[in-house]
Amino acid sequence: MPLKKQSVRIGIIGFGTVGAGTAKILLRKGRQLERKLGFPLVLKNIADLDTKRDRGIKLPAGVLISNANTILNDPEIDIVVELMGGIHPAKEFILQAIRNGKHVVTANKALLATEGQEIFKAAEKNNVDIGFEASVAGSIPIIKVVRESLIGNSIQSIYGIINGTSNYILTKMTEEGVDFSSALKEAQALGYAEADPTFDIEGIDSAHKLTILVSLAFGVPFSFKKIYTEGITKITPLDIQFASEFGYKIKLLAIAKQSGKDVEVRIHPTMLPDSHMIAGVNGVFNAIYIESDATGPQLYYGRGAGEMPTGSAVVSDIADIAGGIRNRAADRVQKTIIPEHSDLSIKKIDDIQTCYYLRFSAFDKPGVLSRISGILGEYNISIKSMIQKGRQADKAVPVVMMTHEAREKDMVQALRKIDRLSAVSGKTVYLRVEGGES
């Protein structure tokens, strides 16, 4: 079939969850996109290793191929869309596309967070664009917001629920009492999870996304390895229940805030007061709360994963880049240049100050509580409130405390000492609490 004049031609590598969503939008909304852009987007090829599997969409004859190199070396293709995931050979495919003068769109946050510096440099050298809206928070246009809409602001802090799978699991455990592994299986069946779901549940996927956001927001080099990362695998129904009794929800939170010459960047399960704007963000939904100097606080909310929401973000990048190609726009609002150096450094987790939830398993013997609170006091940790549940002779029972702000290093040392007490059984559970001292 001869290609329409003025069309922008697209090749997708990877016909999985996101590839199928992207193809559905491009094919089903072709006319609408042409009307809005003023020229057609033509999906020339999709490459996948498996060309037989049903992906829920019928492609025109000849579109589906098995060899990605056909797309990478096709002089007619303007934009290569990498939706296969993983590091290799995705990185080599993207670099080859760039060398061949093609613009690139990708949803691959793992690749960008770990190898992005080299990829963005190559794109700059070859004067091509990289679209990566779908790499962070699925359907929420947060890359555009941070890179373009807030360009006149100094961003002070970002608090985000940016992993749909773990938020889905925590919501199912909190609201329906579903156990962890069943909730994870559901998230996988819905197409939310990564190929290796430990990335989702151990906080690694959130750290990949926060790496990208922090670089754009604070102008620091990609710092994935420096991000303190803790997942949700140790969260128990008991802690969810205690959190609720204190008026809190447990969320896997991505936090980035500037203080002086440091940026605090961390991912961990966090207790948020029920009244907090993002405590009620449930299921696969993501939310990002940003405080900037000119705008003040802003909240962005939407589906963070899944076929169509993510496909929507991919298509927005394709349309944006295609508009630049056809209309010969001098440039997009801001080129993505990832700095190699910055005056700001990433704060060590030991130095952060926050409030804490502590759950001890203690034998109900006279003097136990005063010994625990005495050790906390030695480390400048003061208790805000406490719950003790039940009394059982010769059996440890949970004792739960909420503290005022303390330094992480002090907390770790105090708990190490407390856990050595003969009246304390097992390792004390501690969770960080955000949302301000109440």
Question: Between helices 109-125 and 90-99, what is the axis angle to 10°?
Answer: 20
Residue 320 binding partner per list ligand HSE, ligand NDP, none, with a CB distance cut-off of 5 to 8 Å that depends on partner kind: none
- Confirm if 372 and 415 have CB atoms less than 8 A apart: no
Distance, CA of 435 to CA of 438 (rounded, Å): 8
How far is CA 340 from each of CA 92, 123, 167, 219, 223, rounded to the nearest angstrom? Answer: 22, 15, 33, 9, 10
Structure tokens given for 20: 């199928």
Among 11, 40, 131, 138, binds ligand NDP (CB under 6 A): 138
> Closest approach of Cβ 113 to ligand HSE, in Å?
12
Looking at the DSSP bridge assignments, the partners of residue 432 are 270, 356
Among 165, 174, 403, 428, binds ligand HSE (CB under 6 A): 165
Residue 84 binding partner per list ligand NDP, ligand HSE, none, with a CB distance cut-off of 5 to 8 Å that depends on partner kind: ligand NDP
> Closest approach of Cβ 130 to ligand HSE, in Å?
17
Residue 311 binding partner per list ligand NDP, ligand HSE, none, with a CB distance cut-off of 5 to 8 Å that depends on partner kind: none
**305 contributes a contact to ligand NDP by CB under 6 A:** yes
> Closest approach of Cβ 89 to ligand NDP, in Å?
6
Among 8, 10, 12, 18, binds ligand NDP (CB under 6 A): 18
105 vs 322 by CB, closer to ligand HSE: 105
Among 8, 43, 84, 204, binds ligand NDP (CB under 6 A): 84
Among 104, 173, 193, 415, binds ligand HSE (CB under 6 A): 193
Choose the catalytic residue: 91, 209, 249, 257: 209
Which residues, 6+ apart, have CB-to-CB distance to 372 below 8 Å?
Answer: 360, 362, 399, 418, 421, 424
Contact stretch for ligand NDP (CB under 6 A) within 44-52, 221-229, 270-278, 362-370: 44-52
- Confirm if 168 and 286 have CB atoms less than 8 A apart: no
Q: What part of residues 364-423 is at the interface with ligand NDP (CB under 6 A)?
A: none
**272 contributes a contact to ligand HSE by CB under 6 A:** no
Q: Are strands 155-161 and 248-259 parallel, antiparallel or unpaired?
A: antiparallel
Residue 200 binding partner per list ligand HSE, ligand NDP, none, with a CB distance cut-off of 5 to 8 Å that depends on partner kind: ligand HSE
Contact stretch for ligand NDP (CB under 6 A) within 26-34, 41-49, 251-259, 389-397: 41-49
Residue 203 binding partner per list ligand NDP, ligand HSE, none, with a CB distance cut-off of 5 to 8 Å that depends on partner kind: none
Residue 18 binding partner per list ligand NDP, ligand HSE, none, with a CB distance cut-off of 5 to 8 Å that depends on partner kind: ligand NDP
Residue with tokens 């985000």: 160
**107 contributes a contact to ligand NDP by CB under 6 A:** yes
303 vs 347 by CB, closer to ligand HSE: 303
- Active site (annotated) includes residue 427: no
**80 contributes a contact to ligand NDP by CB under 6 A:** no
Q: What part of residues 191-220 is at the interface with ligand NDP (CB under 6 A)?
A: 191-192, 194-195
Q: What part of residues 305-364 is at the interface with ligand HSE (CB under 6 A)?
A: 305
**49 contributes a contact to ligand NDP by CB under 6 A:** yes
Distance, CA of 116 to CA of 65 (rounded, Å): 27
Site residues (CB under 6 A) for ligand NDP?
A: 13-19, 47-50, 68, 83-85, 89, 107-109, 134, 138, 191-192, 194-195, 305-306, 310
The site for ligand HSE (CB under 6 A) is made up of: 138, 163-165, 192-194, 200, 205, 304-305
